[in-house]
Structure 1
Amino acid sequence: MTDTILLPAVADALAAHGVRHEVLECSPELADTAEFCEHYGFTLDQAANTILVSSRKLDPPRYAVCVVLGTTRLDVNSSVRGLLDVKRASFADAETTVAQTGMLVGGVTAAGIEDLPIYVDRAVLDAPRVVMGGGNRSSKIVLAPAELLKLPGVEVVDGLATPREPAEQLD
């Protein structure tokens, strides 16, 4: 597969920053983590979810992009809140995610994000390779997590996410 199925802003950012990656095509209805992993043979600890978080009750709101493994839960109430220096934060809704990133939920990725902080949980870097969105719901990228460090605005954070209980990992 070539980079042409990626969102153009994602393909451009990967090329501009020399991020080594592979591109996978996926069916849009299988883009969400659990469905993708089950259908395409990846495990949840190989899936790097990219999530937009927004401050609450702050005008203008503060945003951050967070990258965590599929086996973990983003610690919005403590870690992200502290990083954004706000009293309250929550997952951004789909409409806000598109407005802030230009990407669809199920395809959001760190590449191509500009002007927002990008926090990557330290556990992501421990994986030999991860699969993450391609900016749309019809593509994914596979890369060594250290490649994310080539992107501007990336900061590695210890404890950004906490382990999920096994029963929660398919949520």
Structure 2
Amino acid sequence: IGCDKFCTYCVVPSTRGPEQSRPPSQILSEVHVLADQGVREVCLLGQTVNSYKHTENGQLHRLSDLICAINDVEGIERIRFVTSYPRDMTDDLLQAVRDIPKAVRYLHVPLQHGCDEQLRLMKRGYTVAEYREMMARINETIPGCSVSSDFIVGFCGETEESHQLSMDSIREHRFKNSFIFKY
């Protein structure tokens, strides 16, 4: 629930408050109920779902741990999660997606723009080069993984040249899907 990133175009931090991770035992309980009702696929949802962490009974649980636990729930066949924040794409999470049988090899990781100046104005907290490095880690760790992204067009100060940098990024990364939003 919520978000701590404060991107300049987003209302989530002011409307939903700070990022909060629910206890893994509570989530697992819900997954068991859903599985008993015949649900076969679980989608873990959050503004920055891959920053999930919760300490329960003195133990830190990350998203990779939660996916591993859900993998053991009988009846659940597929586990997805959206939306991921690029700087929080950890190696342990990538390894979990690769190694956990029920984890779907699909990641939604918004780049938002292919121009560093636009990313700075959006207060995204990463550069195009850092996103490129993350994509290289995804491709190296999970060969054949499908990745989708979000892009904003018409953001404050966008020029034809900076827009073309976004187009270049789309061509470079060959996203499975790109979701385009007009500012």
Q: Which has the higher helix share?
A: 2
Give the number of the structure whose alpha-carbon radius of gyration is greater: 2
TM-score between the two structures when normalised by the length of structure 2: 0.24
Q: Which has the higher contact order (CA 8 A, sep 6+)?
A: 1
Q: Which has the higher strand share?
A: 1
TM-score between the two structures when normalised by the length of structure 1: 0.25
